[in-house]
């Protein structure tokens, strides 16, 4: 380990940050230099991301990073970018973004599913892409576009890299979430683009984690106060790919839960599982760092809770999250549950009411009480995690000894304990900022500051992060 300072831009669906990562032999030390909220907004009759505002925050964060590094007498070796997957911006030949990008929560892609499946049978799609069916996969969003003439689609982190460097590429881990990517070949599935009447160059060529996009554009470099030769390096630009790369596992018999807006629950494999059974169980084979396969399910996540908090806040009830979770933990187990993966919960709307309505449909009753509703979400998530891990073991013929929970949700002790109880496995929680750590470590390896494969990167994470262990107790949900 040779040391170095790297800037990570990490934007999730609920918040973004720019972080300085200092790499040393005792691990990676993170310093958050800028943090900002994120969320879907209603713009031009659709649910979109305010990308212009996000990009302004990225620039402000890089400016802060440059200032902090200058004060310390440090040189930022490179910049890496990761965000949520699936969504894209459309850029014209002049390189201008033509509209604020749609969010996957917008409903427009739902009507495009059937027309796509008439041209491309879901079984055929799965046999090549290995992608879990979600109504908002890029392939359906693109099918809902009216006019793509002269436009190129840039996935969100690639769009940021393009605006910073002028270089158009598509990072491979995120390309694997489009539904237009061959899981075995690791290339675009050009036959699917053609079948849907999409140009072969709709997306720019692939770039792999560790490769270089390019140096900052002169205007950008002077605007943020970084040297002109500062490079943007491709990392696992799908946030979940970076998070999984930084799971602090020492053995390979682990399952992971990347816990934030969504819960990404699964295993790391060397080869994709493209069987019909796997398709029926709706498992995805997304690409990870170093050509690994992230064999997982995108499950409901803490969006269910954060949306309840938003509704309650509008009604004047704003408890701190730890207090709310404590009240939920004090309730007895065995209460009502929902299916957290139900597409019914995708849109932002009155979440407490929708959860109570879903419980009502099961013939049960959930009282209108924040602690009870919170408990219902946690019980439902833990039950879903256990089922998913069991299914993954069966479908991939592997056995899991330990469950690693990373991301913001790893701070949720109630959920971690319930997950240990229901899976019957030890749960290791942390780090919270796994995504940024994965981002930094892939840059550090590209710079030659660290060497080795994922095992070596993970050992550095384990060495430098406080982790909390939850042991299974006898709780029946
Ligand atoms: P995303 O990347 O999808 O935006 P994060 O990984 O940042 O999500 O996780 C955000 C979630 O982490 C929040 O919705 C919240 O439920 C959870 N969280 C944040 N802080 C705490 C805390 N102190 N205790 C428990 N949960 C927390
Ligand atoms: C998590 C995530 C997840 C995708 C979803 C769209 O932030 O990238 O892996 O399925 O957002």
With a Cβ cut-off of 6 Å, ligand 1 is lined by 12-15, 260-261, 302, 305-306, 321-322, 407-409, 411-412
pLDDT score for 477: 83
pLDDT score for 476: 79
Task: Determine the Cα–Cα distance for residues 244 and 257; give it in Å rounded to an integer.
Answer: 9
CA of 39 to the centre of ligand 2 (A): 13
Burial of 472 (0-12, 13-18, 19+ CB in 10 A): middle
What percentage of the chain reaches a pLDDT higher than 70? 100
The arithmetic mean of pLDDT across residues 450-467, rounded, is: 96
425-440 core/surface letters (b: 16 or more CB in 10 A; e: else) = bebbbbbbbbbbbbbb
pLDDT score for 208: 98
Cis ω for the linkage preceding 431 (within 30 of 0)? yes
CA of 236 to the centre of ligand 2 (A): 13
Name the closest ligand to CA 346: 2
Q: Best of 11, 155, 175, 238 to mutate for ligand 2, by most ligand atoms within 8 A of CB? A: 238
Task: Determine the Cα–Cα distance for residues 51 and 369; give it in Å rounded to an integer.
Answer: 36
Contacts of 35 (CB under 8 A, 6+ apart): 15, 16, 17
With a Cβ cut-off of 6 Å, ligand 2 is lined by 12-13, 84-86, 104, 238-240, 260-262, 264, 298
Provide the mean pLDDT of the chain: 97
ipTM: 0.99
CA of 260 to the centre of ligand 1 (A): 5
Name the closest ligand to CA 407: 1
The arithmetic mean of pLDDT across residues 412-440, rounded, is: 98
Q: What is the pLDDT of residues 86-130, one digit of tens each?
A: 999 999 999 999 999 999 999 999 999 999 999 999 999 999 999
Active site members = 239
Q: What is the dihedral of CA 86, 92, 97, 102, to 10 degrees?
A: -40
Q: What is the pLDDT of residues 396-412, one digit of tens each?
A: 999 999 999 999 999 99
With cut-offs at 50, 70 and 90, classify the pLDDT of residue 2.
confident
Nearest CA to ligand 1 atom 2: 12
CA of 262 to the centre of ligand 2 (A): 6
Tell me the pTM.
0.98
């Amino acid at each position: 380990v040779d040391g170095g300072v790297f800037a990570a831009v990490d934007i999730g669906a609920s918040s973004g940050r720019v972080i300085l990562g200092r790499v040393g032999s005792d691990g990676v030390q993170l310093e958050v230099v800028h943090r900002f909220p994120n969320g879907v907004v209603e713009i031009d009759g659709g649910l979109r991301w305010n990308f212009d505002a996000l990009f302004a925050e990225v620039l402000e964060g890089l400016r802060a990073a440059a200032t902090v590094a200058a004060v310390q007498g440090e040189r930022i070796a490179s910049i890496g970018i990761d965000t949520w997957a699936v969504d894209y911006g459309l850029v014209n030949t002049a390189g201008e973004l033509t509209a604020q990008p749609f969010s996957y929560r917008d409903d427009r892609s739902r009507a495009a599913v059937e027309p796509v499946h008439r041209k491309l049978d879901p079984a055929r799609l799965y046999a090549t892409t290995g992608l879990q069916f979600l109504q908002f996969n890029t392939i359906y969003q693109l099918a809902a576009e009216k006019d793509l003439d002269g436009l190129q689609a840039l996935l969100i982190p690639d769009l940021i890299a393009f605006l910073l460097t002028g270089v158009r590429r598509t990072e491979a881990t995120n390309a694997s979430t489009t539904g237009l990517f061959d899981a075995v070949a690791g290339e675009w599935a050009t036959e699917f683009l053609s079948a849907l009447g999409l140009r072969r160059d709709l997306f720019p060529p692939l770039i792999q984690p560790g490769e270089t996009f390019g140096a900052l554009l002169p205007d950008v470099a002077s605007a943020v106060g970084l040297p002109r030769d500062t490079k943007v390096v491709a990392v696992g630009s799908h946030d979940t790919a970076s998070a999984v790369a930084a799971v602090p596992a020492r053995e390979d018999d682990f399952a992971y839960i990347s816990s934030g807006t969504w819960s990404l629950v699964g295993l790391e494999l060397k080869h994709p599982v493209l069987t019909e059974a796997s398709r029926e169980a709706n498992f995805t084979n997304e690409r990870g760092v170093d050509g690994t396969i992230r064999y997982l399910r995108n499950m409901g996540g803490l969006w269910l809770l954060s949306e309840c908090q938003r509704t309650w806040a509008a009604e004047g009830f704003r408890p701190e999250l730890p207090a709310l979770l404590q009240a939920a933990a004090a309730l007895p187990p065995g209460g009502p549950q929902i299916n957290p993966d139900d597409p019914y919960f995708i849109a932002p709307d009155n979440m407490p009411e929708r959860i109570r309505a879903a419980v009502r449909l099961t013939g049960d009753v959930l009282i209108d009480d924040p602690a009870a509703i919170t408990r219902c979400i946690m019980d439902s998530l833990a039950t879903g995690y256990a089922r998913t891990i069991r299914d993954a073991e069966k479908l991939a013929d592997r056995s899991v000894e330990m469950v690693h929970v990373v991301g913001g949700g790893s701070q949720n002790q109630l959920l971690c304990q319930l997950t240990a109880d229901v899976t019957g496995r030890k749960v290791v929680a942390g780090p919270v900022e796994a995504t940024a750590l994965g981002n930094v470590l892939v840059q550090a390896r590209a710079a030659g500051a660290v060497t080795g494969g994922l095992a070596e990167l993970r050992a550095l994470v384990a060495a430098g992060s406080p982790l909390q262990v939850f042991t299974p107790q006898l709780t029946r949900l």
